[in-house]
Structure 1
Amino acid sequence: MSTANTLAPLLNRVMCPQCWHKFHPEEILWISEHQDLFDADHRVPNAQKRFLPSRFTPNAEAIDPRGFPCHKLACPNCHLEIPRPLLELQSLVLSVLGSPGSGKSYFLAAMASRLRHVLPLKFFTTFTDADASLNWRLKESERQLFANSRPDQIQELGELIQKTQEVGDEYGYAAVNFGSQSVNYLRPYAFTMQVQDNHPNPKRRGVGRAICLYDNAGESFLPGMDKSASPVTRHLAESRVLFFVYDPLQDSRFRGLDAGLNAGLVDKSHLGSQEGVFQEAANRIRRYSGLSSREKYPRPVIVVVTKCDRWANLVDRDLMSRSAIVETPKPLSDGSSVNLNCLDTGLVRSTSDKIRHLLSRVTPEIVSAVESFTDHACYVPVSATGAQTQVNPTTGQQAVRPGELQSFWAEIPFIYSLAISASGMIPQVSR
């Protein structure tokens, strides 16, 4: 079926990033190309037929029943497309959760934009889309925020990034038919990371990961919203790291610390309890993974505390000028050393301690909810926009000039999760 010089080695076991079915690579289905085979699949409506091939081209491409070579792969269970890198690279599953209006979409756009720049420049590691069709919404959000065609014009934030919805292909959901039952699956954002050949440490070269990043609408975490016909939060049980996006400015107690925190702010207190969203997510993780009510979650939970450009002075007057990525000498096995950029995990943790202290004093239920669930919590300050917002007097909505946006630490939660993992892709130092 394959030749050594055309295909990379495949994993022994593959997991579908949509339905979580685990299978061997030889069970993978191919997606037909001939137009006569459109809408001929019983699982996925309005799609090309999926099939298990028996004929291949010399380049190891399957040949569909009409004789056309094929290029795309699909899960043997749900028949949804699977990017090829997920068959070749170990997957790292990350989940983003938060209440409606907490800023998840802005955080994700800023994080992805920064990672595309920082990882190649600082860590000799590529960060690319594994599948353009899966990532188009995120790419569009990045463009609207950081490559806007009208950078000097005031634009409402709601126009720059649309709110994440609970259904629809355009929002990353896909309907699959199992007989008479239709099931709605959440599709992830998918990326590949690969350490480049010019990395100063030869032992790291070639190390790679496939990243599956899940973003639900906040409403998906309301009680009763997860069911067999819409299992859109089941990824939580597979996730290696949870990012809980928390907006402290939604809480009037936090805004009461400084009168300036209310300037240009739209009141979102009506959107509901952020603590309740986390508790619901924690309950689902316990249910999906079999954790008892007494057991702690063994994986990290990174609390992404947003809009820190507004409140950073409450924690550290110099916080917005601090860099968590530093250059430091690293010894090699041959006795020499090289200068490598590393994540300063000491700075991240000391900053986390300061934010935890502030939240424990002002909104203690958030800290209690997180730390009753895991012993591996880290509180990271993030500003997706880094710019003061204005309020449109006509609509009452927040607005910014895109050309003034400059995110702060948006990439640090992701880089920190890699630095504390066993992947070896991000070196760390604690100063």
Structure 2
Amino acid sequence: MVHISEIGQIFREEYGRSVAVLVRVLGSIDAAEDAVQDAFTEAVARWPDAGLPPSPVGWIITTARNRAIDRLRREASGREKLAQAALLRGDEHGDEPGDEPEGIEVDSVVDDQLRLIFTCCHPALNRSAQVALTLKLLGGLGTAEIAHAFLVPEPTMAQRLVRAKGKIRDARIPYRVPSGAELPERMKSVLAVVYLVFNEGYAASSGPGLVREDLCQEALRLGRLIMELMPDEPEAKGLLALMLLLNARRAARTTSDGGLVLLAHQDRSLWDADQIAEGQSFVRQCLKRNQPGPYQLQAAINAVHSDAAQPANTDWRQILALYGQLLAMEPTPVVALNRAVALAEVEGPAAGLAAVDVLELGHYYLFHAVRADLLRRLGRNTEAVAAYRAAEEHTGNDAERDFLEGRVRALTTTGPGLAAPTSDDPHGR
């Protein structure tokens, strides 16, 4: 007997691969999605009694192709569509569900998945559409799940997905992996989309909880997929290492009632040793390649943190040096803010505050939170309270807001006595 939950797991793992193959075969994202959905509906009806086929994904792809052919035949109004259906089937008699899909080799499936990833992340689409399409087509998440993840109504998310797929169709966005000069910038976009998914799960931009475990796991799955598809891309390995090292701390980042716990106060025995070991192994592999990139440097920073059994053992000078390299590579205010946190640990809060105060990040709640902490450590409590309250105004996450309110209460009732939130980033995560 096959439990429905097993079929659901196969759906999540194989949906993207199946859709990728069918997009190539059918030339339409919508037609591919409909065909794969039909195939999984049939799997739900058959597999509980018949058992899993030897190759579930092969069964799904073959069945989806056959369902698409049947639909073409029903809708065919002339010889051209009938000929297209015959071409798709590949022979006069066709396949039975359970057969391996003809002409679909492992390398072909890999290519199909890469093409779909780059199509989802085409620069003609805005970033929110790229993220939504990646989750839908590669992750197998339903529209309702994606809408819930980004706190928008399901009809709104459905419209965004329809518009994004319509833009791909109407603009004739090519279903291919870019080559030559296009590839580095497009790869950067692909990795950025996966990291956005992870960050939304790791520190939700709004809502009651700090963490969305489902999004963290989905980002890790996508990160593994991209690394497997492009094993010679060091930044793909760096991104996966970074996500593993951050996610390893997840169990220690919140209290039993969901409150935020800063890095300096986390119970490090709760950190996931297996994820740390895997992430550090990837970092070492990246170092041997000696082709540093932003994700590799961020992973290296977090590898240093994971080496410290206690906060006092953290090698902040090495972290500061790594942030210096990252800032040279990506001279953004957010990277500069992270470096300022490390600088404060090495040279003191006054040096950190001086580095923070030149940044133009007034819209960013972490800017105010970092500034508030440095002011508190300098004994400038009135200014610190004002900065904490500014941070509250710029976050939509309840756990973060509760933490900031606690800081304000502590300062207005007991004065400067709180431990410094030593951190690998302004979030103290």
Q: Normalization by structure 2: what TM-score?
A: 0.30
Greater relative CO (CA pairs within 8 A, separation 6+): 1
Q: Which protein has the bigger helix share? A: 2
- Mark the structure with the bigger radius of gyration: 2
Q: Which has the higher strand share?
A: 1
TM-score by length of 1: 0.30
